[in-house]
Amino acid sequence: RVGIDFPTIQVRYEHLNIEALAHVGNRGLPTFINTTLNVLETLANLLHIVPNKKIPINILHDVNGIIKPKRMTLLLGPPGSGKTTLLLALAGKLDSDLKVSGKVTYNGHGMNEFVAQRSAAYISQHDLHIAEMTVRETLAFSARCQGIGSRYDMLTELSRREKAANIKPDPDLDVYMKAISVGGQDTNIITDYILKILGLDICADTMVGDDMLRGISGGQRKRVTTGEMMVGAERALFMDEISTGLDSSTTYQIVKSLGLITNILSGTTVISLLQPAPETYNLFDDIILLSDGHIVYQGPREHVLEFFESMGFKCPDRKGVADFLQEVTSRKDQPQYWARSDRRYQYVPVKEFARAFQAFHAGQSLSAELSRPFDRSQC
């Protein structure tokens, strides 16, 4: 009513190439002998005694795209396609050993102009917790560490505008907003809120546990990993396979709650899921399909099947779209989806899909939007 909008983040990545140096074959196995040889070889490389025997491996190949606020984006792709690396790159948490070219910008600002970790949160697929802390203590501690962000400044400006416009706020809502905007007290309310959303209120006072200490179940531990970053004030969330160990019903409820938070609070959310159920898939607005380090499709969910039909592949009526998208780029599974009876099937490689997407209307609109620089006055 007084004209205040939540701050939004638009993430762009342009000509992003990521390359790693790694041992291949038997030398890539984590054995005792290989580990010892790797240490000795690293020392010899530093002293320029022997050349580096690691082979460069391309993880991402010249990928471009835009992650828009107020929209839920689903990142799909078979294992080893580069999903985790892309999410880490967008969150500004890439390993320093990787060779990176291209740029990632937040509202037109490069990664060297601000601290990306204060604006974005990366939620790992690995559960790393202090076993002796309870679920509530884990989330509360994480909330204190991350702080309240810009909530206090927004509340101050809101109060000033309300007085100027002679508007009396709703008492319950006013109490809640003040409680989450004051340092020290916000953690209790936000923690209880996230515990309720993720269904962790039934085990809030149970120790998290680990392999040596009995605690909560594996599915609950996965939800604690997600909740740890949701309690913060970050505006962009990059979630890596948060459904591992969860049943489809729980995954649906969590994604639905994240969708509400994204739409109401103008967040930017990218979620990587391995095999989402059709109901969960339909909750997303945009799809990014990654395969062999190439972006095969990025755009609205409504047009993804249209793109593959233009390439000659049709999703069967009783087949989940998410499963179809992950199988249609595979050499082994691709033939079963060929739908052109007038033409003999021939394997379509990932690079050809990526080139065809540039000529598709969703790819052309994406390229046109990327060619226009972000208007920083909207930041």
**Greater pLDDT, 154 or 214:** 214
What is the predicted pLDDT for the residue at 296?
A: 92
pLDDT over threshold 90, residue 245? no
Domain ranges of the chain: 67-119+235-378, 128-233
What is the predicted pLDDT for the residue at 230?
A: 81
What is the predicted pLDDT for the residue at 157?
A: 82
Highest mean pLDDT (candidates 43-57, 156-170, 282-296):
282-296
pTM for the model: 0.84
Average pLDDT over residues 124-149: 85
pLDDT over threshold 80, residue 274? yes
Q: Are strands 286-291 and 268-272 parallel, antiparallel or unpaired?
A: unpaired
Closest CA to 357 of 64, 75, 127, 105: 64
Q: Which of 45-49, 57-61, 206-210 is predicted least confidently?
A: 45-49
What is the predicted pLDDT for the residue at 72?
A: 92
Q: Which CATH number fits domain 67-119+235-378: 3.40.50.300, 3.30.230.80, 3.20.20.70, 3.50.50.60?
A: 3.40.50.300
Q: Which of 211-215, 257-261, 285-289 is predicted least confidently?
A: 257-261
The two structure tokens encoding residue 22: 């790694």
Q: Which of 149-163, 175-189, 299-313 is predicted least confidently?
A: 175-189
Give 102's contacts (C-beta < 8 A, 6+ positions apart): 13, 14, 15, 16, 17, 62, 63
> From the CB of residue 126, how many other CB atoms can be counted at a distance below 10 Å?
9
DSSP secondary structure, 231-270, as one string: TS--SEEEEE-TTTT--HHHHHHHHHHHHHHHHHTT-EEE
pLDDT over threshold 70, residue 185? no
**Greater pLDDT, 36 or 126:** 36
List, for residues 82-111, the tens digit of each pLDDT value.
899 999 999 988 888 888 888 899 988 888
> From the CB of residue 231, how many other CB atoms can be counted at a distance below 10 Å?
24
What is the C-alpha separation between 68 and 306, in angstroms, rounded? 22
Mean pLDDT, the chain, rounded, equals: 86
pLDDT over threshold 90, residue 284? yes
pLDDT over threshold 70, residue 186? no
What is the predicted pLDDT for the residue at 207?
A: 92
What is the predicted pLDDT for the residue at 248?
A: 86
What is the predicted pLDDT for the residue at 257?
A: 83
What is the predicted pLDDT for the residue at 45?
A: 82
Give 252's contacts (C-beta < 8 A, 6+ positions apart): 277, 279, 280, 283
